[in-house]
Structure 1
Amino acid sequence: MLFNSFEYVLFLWTVYVLFWTLRTRRKLRHTMLLVASYWFYAQADWRFLSLLVVSSLVDFWAGRGVHDALEAGNRRRAHAFLGLSLAVNLGLLGTFKYADFFLGGFSDLAQAVGLDPIGLRLDLVLPVGISFYTFQTLSYTFDIYRGKLRPIASLLDFSLYVSFFPQLVAGPIVRAIQFLPQLEQPPEYDDRRVSSGLFQILRGLVKKLLMADVLGAHLVDAAFADADTMGQLGAPALLLATYAYALQLYGDFAGYSDIAIGSARLLGFELPKNFDAPFKSRSLEEFWTRWHITMSSWFMDYVYVGLGGSRVGFWRYARNVIVAWGLVGLWHGAAWTFALWGLYHGLWLVAVRCVRMLLPDERLPQNKLFAVLGVLFTFHVVAFSMILFRCPDLATFSSAVAQLGDWSMGLPNVPWQIWLVLGLGYASHLMPDAWQQALERGWEATPRVVQGLALAASMVLLFALHPPGLAPFIYFQF
């Protein structure tokens, strides 16, 4: 079930009414939410509900085992339970997401050394959201092992944490330490929070339907279709398609996150922010505190810091960054383009660290000129990586890189409406935070009846202006 559909609107409205009707009956309320979340997930493929249940049961039990072993001073037993959690979760993720990638790599390697291996592919369908809920359940056992969280007594509540429908399919990646305490508190209806949730949903739909889907349907998808198409673009057209894709990817994923956060807020829950105007970033380090925040912070806390972080010598620091970002790349998908995308960002972060080491106090000059240059530099480093991220294979990426040197062709004939979407999209993204906050305060101050009418009219208009068909969110494939 897509967030950008009337089916989801009806589903959310039904859950909203049932939730607040049952607000004084905790067990029934949580059971209803769990059933609704399972039903929501089953709309993609009901067979994969079993994986969701297995992950929930294993980590509920493993978390308790880790805690009890640590309480008894038996770290070896705690390691065994932690290893069980890792083996089951990463085993399921690896089988469904990476098996064919590694089998294909083995086959290619065997052919390269003169062998004739039997082609073996599992051709498994990737379960929707598996990369997201796997990391959520792992954070539970990790935090118990690190002494930051006590195991929860209720399997119902833990299962609801794992499967809570607003963030189940594509995040934000919510940690148990952020969500489970909210289940302990009885919900209190807050008119302003409901108003804020509706605002978030409407903002997310605008980003998805009027920005991401329009740019994808009328510019990006055609430009990045294949290597032959890419080879006919020329540098100006490629740059235009790249800038459009950067905005499309942001609008699509940030739009999803806004709808998820708004949907949860309607039910009295707060999910963590996932995007914070990332194209305003003055450095690559800052960019990754603004783009897909919950994913980058997860890898920072559980992988990068676990390897030693930055409080080590330079070469170990470089290793930690490259390993962490190589894994970030593979987390996005089983393809060489994603692996190289992650390594690209890791190497750039190491290069930036080298430059900083040569500066006084390891800091760039703090003035407006360097701020603007930092934003432009960071954006273009990120935008170039998005060519690699978007290309379906390395052959298409090679064609794209070759076109960067061809300035013989001008810009393509793009309809003025696309230029308008690009201009308004970047302008709204770069507007001062105070303007966006004032816009939300103005919405919350509007009478609720007017809000309802405005929301209904806006949704009708959004779907009317939207290209034919419902485009799935890009991060569903991850």
Structure 2
Amino acid sequence: MFIPHMIPYASPTYFIILFIALAPLVLSLLFRGKRINWYQSLITLFFLYISFGGSDYRQGLALIGYVIFQSVLVWSYQRYRKKTNQAGVFYGAVFLSIVPLIFVKVTPFMNGQNSILGFLGISYLTFKSVQIIMEMRDGMIKEYSPLNYIKFLLFFPTISSGPIDRYRRFEKDLNEPPMKEKYVDLLGSAVHDIFLGFLYKFIIGYYFGQVLLPIVDRHALQHGGLSWSLVGYMYVYSMYLFFDFAGYSLFAVGTSKLMGYETPPNFNKPFLSWNIKEFWNRWHMTLSFWFRDYIYMRLMFTLIKKKTFKSRIVASNVGYFALFLLMGVWHGLTWYYIVYGIYHATLICLTDAWLRFKKKHKQQLPSNKFTKAFAIFLTFNAVCLSFLIFSGFLDKLWFHNIFFMK
């Protein structure tokens, strides 16, 4: 029977196939407390095929080539590191691991076409590859299994858009399936996540994205420039972005739990954050924590160790701008992604300054439920403005005003 290409978690048919395929694995974990490893490998290949095969076979070929390249690179670095721990080799390995992603990101900017090396989820697989090289360098990963590494890369519930797991945590779940009692709790949590994902993505997200967003888009273009329609677009797009992505993440986490893996969550009520730093501890958490641990903290260690700046505050602010500029460029080489990164770096630096001022004048400043509610309100609006920038709609509005408005 011909199985068409399917985007993960995008259609009822995908979920029907998913639940049927996972049933033997669920029953084995539930009644035997064991995972059927050969069957998990089989359904992994099957779901990779329906996600990257068929009419999208070029993505599938790119994925195969990518996994081979990264596997050889990580294996070679691990072998070499047993003999020596030269910094140049480490930096070279990290650079090589991100080269495919650089090509994928730069190619559309250079010639307007997508790279033949690209496939859905290449960024998240690259984060996994860089992570394991860095943790090998730090001595956090002492034992390494090439087969487990490939399973880590190709874990199909999260391959296309995360959440971004950590190798050591994943390998622990891989080697130690949950006991039957614990799996019962995981199963209940999985059902909750999946049903909440349906509510988020296919009901609330659908309403904001498919019903309201075209309406406010049209009205904003008709009015042009600053208008209440543009404000409406800002809020509607922000709601759509959250519920759509949070819904997808819930599906990925819930599916992982059905398979006996405790993939970390990606969102934790981000719109209830009382400042922008708290927001990044709640929004796309696995991505923000990855950038924090593997980019920001290492950059700060280098700047402080080499005494590049006399002030730790200056070093911290430089680190924030470097971090969010990199995050903006990762999203794409367009002005609005870069401005989005600069905007968030500026907000975090201002937040740090405010927190220092608040600590110094703690006795003079009020702190109660009303001030906290006001802080949440300000943070929510600041975040929504950033999503308006991120959406690219301002670029679309500018183009429309030039060519269609008199």
| TM-score normalized with structure 2 length | 0.84
User: Is the 1:387–1:397 Cα contact (8 Å) retained in structure 2?
Assistant: no
Matches within 5 A, 1:111-260: 120-124=111-115, 126-155=118-147, 157-186=148-177, 188-189=179-180, 190-224=183-217, 228-229=221-222, 231=224, 235-260=227-252
**Distance of 1:365 and 1:33 partners within structure 2:** 57
Deviation at 1:154, TM superposition (A): 4.1
The answer to whether the 8 Å contact 1:162/1:168 transfers is yes
Q: Distance in 2 between matches of 1:327 and 1:86?
A: 15
Residues 1:353 and 2:362 aligned together = no
Q: Where does residue 4 of structure 2 map in the other structure? A: none
1:195-240 Cα deviation digits (max 9, x unpaired): 32112111001101111111112222343369844617x6333222
Aligned match of 2:17: 11
Provide runs of 4+ in structure 1 moved above 6 Å.
397-400
Residue of structure 2 equivalent to 1:272: 264
With a CA cutoff of 8 Å and minimum separation of 6, indicate the structure with the bigger relative contact order.
Answer: 1
Q: Partners of 1:230 and 1:150 in 2: how far apart?
A: 60
1:376 alignment partner in structure 2: 377
Aligned CA distance change for structure 1 residues 377 and 397 (closer, same or farther; 3 Å): farther
Deviations 1:255-282 (A, max 9, x none): 1111111111111111101000001101
Give, in angstroms, the shift of residue 369 of structure 1. Answer: 2.2
CA RMSD of aligned residues (A): 2.8
Cα 1:163–1:225 change in 2 (3 A) is: farther
Instruction: Structure 1 unaligned segments of length 5 or more: list them.
Output: 104-119, 401-478
Aligned match of 1:338: 337
Change (3 A) 1:200 1:304: same
Deviation at 1:327, TM superposition (A): 1.0
Paired AA for residue 64 in structure 2: V
Which of the residues 52, 63, 66 maps onto 1:52?
63
Tell me the SS of whatever aligns to 1:124. coil
What corresponds to 1:416 in structure 2?
Answer: none
Q: 1:63 aligns with which of 61, 64, 74?
A: 74
Cα offset for 1:84? Answer: 3.0
Structure 1 residues 172 and 226, CA, compared in 2 at 3 Å: closer, same or farther?
farther
Shift of 1:370: 1.8
Distance, in Å, in 2 between the alignment partners of 1:162 and 1:169 is: 11
Counterparts of 1:288-299 in structure 2, within 5 Å, are 288-299=280-291
**Is it true that 1:325 corresponds to 2:324 in the alignment?**
yes
Q: 1:34 to 1:336 in 2, by over 3 A?
A: same
% identity of equivalent residues: 24
Contact 1:223 1:229 in 2 (8 A): no
- Residues 51 and 86 of structure 1: CA distance in aligned 2, closer, same or farther (over 3 Å): farther
The equivalent of 2:85 in structure 1 is 75
